[in-house]
Amino acid sequence: MIEIKTLVKNYGLNPVLRGVNLHVQAGEFVTLVGPNGAGKSTLMRIVSTLLKPTSGLVEIGGWALPRHSDRVRRYIGLVSHQTMLYADLTAQENLLFFARLYQLDNADARVARAIKYVGLAARQRDPVRTFSRGMMQRLTIARATLHEPDVLLLDEPYTGLDQDASQLLDDLLRREVDYGRTILMITHDLAHGLNLCDRTAILNRGKIVCEVNSHDISSSAFLELYADHTRHQKKKKQTT
């Protein structure tokens, strides 16, 4: 469903992605982790059609980016650092607005189902500016899945969430897995990332340095593996 080959992104003379290769099968949940500055958000912006690569191949469902970005956007849902919600609109009004953007049939019914799905029916007529961070993140999931996308892209979805809100997000993501969506998630929260996904990849200094099947490795073993790769890359950087 997602195919990335020899992806390069430079900002001027500064290389951020240095030949990334990553493949995500239909219905697979892949988590991408890495230290600050590894290039994770840059990679996500390219996959979500918000940024053009310098070189390399990126395909979503067989459609090449950025050439077919307009077609691909209908089939992806994005949860990023920005909620893309309008603070002065209610939860219901926000989702109705996005339903119109996607030209969805039966918008009212779809919005009602989406709000119930994320547990916000009791607050659907309240302005989003009155919501907690966790509630906004749940509404963001509703926005990102309103058009029933084949691919769900998540960029640090746990940022700013307390333990209860993180658990609610876990439950929502498990439901998305049950619906068969293809999911690519970037997170600093290694425990959540490893527990939820099928496969975990480590991105460091603009390259995928390791991939593991999340069902075949314990959280503690992965944390040790992650630390080893991070230390190795730091030493390599210091000697070059």
pLDDT at 239 over 60: no
58 in Cβ contact with 45 (< 8 Å): no
Q: In a 3-state reduction of DSSP, which class is residue 129?
A: helix
Query: Which residues have C-beta within 8 Å of that of residue 133, sequence separation ≥ 6?
Result: 160, 161, 165
pLDDT at 148 over 60: yes
CA-nearest of 49, 83, 90 to 159 is 83
Q: How many other C-beta atoms are found inside a 10 Å radius of the C-beta of residue 131?
A: 19
pLDDT in tens, 105-117: 999 999 999 999 9
Q: What number is the average pLDDT over the span 31-38?
A: 89
In the chain, % helix, strand, coil (3-state, to 5) comes to: 45, 25, 30
Query: Which residues have C-beta within 8 Å of that of residue 66, sequence separation ≥ 6?
Result: 49, 52, 53
Query: Which residues have C-beta within 8 Å of that of residue 210, sequence separation ≥ 6?
Result: 201, 202, 225, 229
pLDDT in tens, 190-219: 777 777 899 999 999 999 998 988 877 766
Sign of CA dihedral 81, 123, 114, 111: negative
Q: Which domains does the chain have, with CATH numbers?
A: 2-239 (3.40.50.300)
User: What pLDDT shows up at residue 81?
Assistant: 82
Question: What is the b/e burial string over 206-233, where b = at least 16 CB atoms within 10 angstroms of the residue's CB?
Answer: bbbbeebebeeeeeeebeeebeebbeeb
Say how far apart CA 53 and CA 72 lie, in whole Å: 16
Side-chain half-sphere exposure of 190, counting CA atoms within 13 A: 17
Task: Decide the pairing of beta strands 29-33 and 55-60.
Answer: unpaired
Q: What is the phi/psi pair of residue 210, to 5°?
A: -165, 145
Task: Decide the pairing of beta strands 76-79 and 151-155.
Answer: parallel
Our measurement of the distance from residue 220's CA atom to the centroid of its chain's CA atoms, rounded to an integer in Å, reads 24
- Could you tell me which residues are beta bridge partners of residue 80? none
User: What pLDDT shows up at residue 16?
Assistant: 96
pLDDT in tens, 178-191: 989 999 999 877 77
User: What pLDDT shows up at residue 234?
Assistant: 56
